[in-house]
A and B are shown apart, each in its own frame.
Chain A
Amino acid sequence: MTPILAIARREVAAFFATPVGWLCLTAFAAISGFFFAMMATEFSVQATTAAYNPYVAEQINLNDWLIQPFFANTSVVLLMLSPALSMRLFAEDRANKSLELLLSSPVTSGQIVLGKFLGALGFVSVMLASTLPLTGMLYWLGTPDTGILLSCYLSAFLLAASFLSVGLLTSAMTENQIVALVTGFALLLVLWVLSWAETIAGGALGQVLAGISMLSHLDQLLKGLFHLADAVYFITFVGVFLFATTQRVEAFRWR
Chain B
Amino acid sequence: MIHVDQLSKTYGAVDAISGVSFKVQAGAVVGLLGPNGAGKTTTMRILCGCIGATAGTATINGQDVALAPAAVKSAIGYLPETPPLYGHMVVRDFIRFAATIKGVSDVEGATDAVIQTVGLDHDVGGLPASERIISHLSKGYQQRVGLAQALVHDPAVLVLDEPTSGLDPAQRRDLRDLLKRLARAQNRTVILSTHVLAEVEAICDEVVIISGGRVVAQDSIEALRGTGSMIRLRVGQPSDDLVDTLSALRGVSEVVDEGEGRLQLTVGADVRADVAREAAVFDLLELSQSEGLEDIYLRLTGGQA
Contacts and interface: CB of A to CB of B under 8 A. Distances in A.
B70 A106 contact: yes
A253 B102 contact: no
B103 A106 contact: yes
B86 A254 contact: no
Contacts, number: 76
Interface in A90-112: 96-108
Interface stretch (B74-82, B206-214, B291-299): B74-82
Given A104-B50, A106-B69, A255-B51, A6 B103 contact: no
Interface string A1-39: 101001100100110011000000000000000000000
B51 A106 contact: no
A105 B52 contact: no
Contacts of A107: 101
A97 B84 contact: yes
Interface residues of B, number: 31
A83 to B, nearest CB: 21
A107 B98 CA distance: 11
B88 A100 contact: no
B190 to A, nearest CB: 16
Contacts of A97: 80, 82, 84
Contacts of A99: 84
Interface in B63-98: 69-71, 73-74, 76, 78, 80, 82, 84-89, 93, 97-98
B149 interface: yes
Contacts of B87: 96
Nearest to A98: B84
Contact of A6 (B71, B74, B85, B100): B100
B95 to A, nearest CB: 11
Nearest to B86: A98
Interface in B272-290: none
Given A3-B100, A255-B11, A104 B86 contact: no
8 contacts: A1-B107, A3-B101, A13-B93, A96-B84, A98-B86, A101-B149, A104-B49, A106-B102
Interface of B: 11, 45, 48-52, 69-71, 73-74, 76, 78, 80, 82, 84-89, 93, 97-98, 100-103, 107, 149
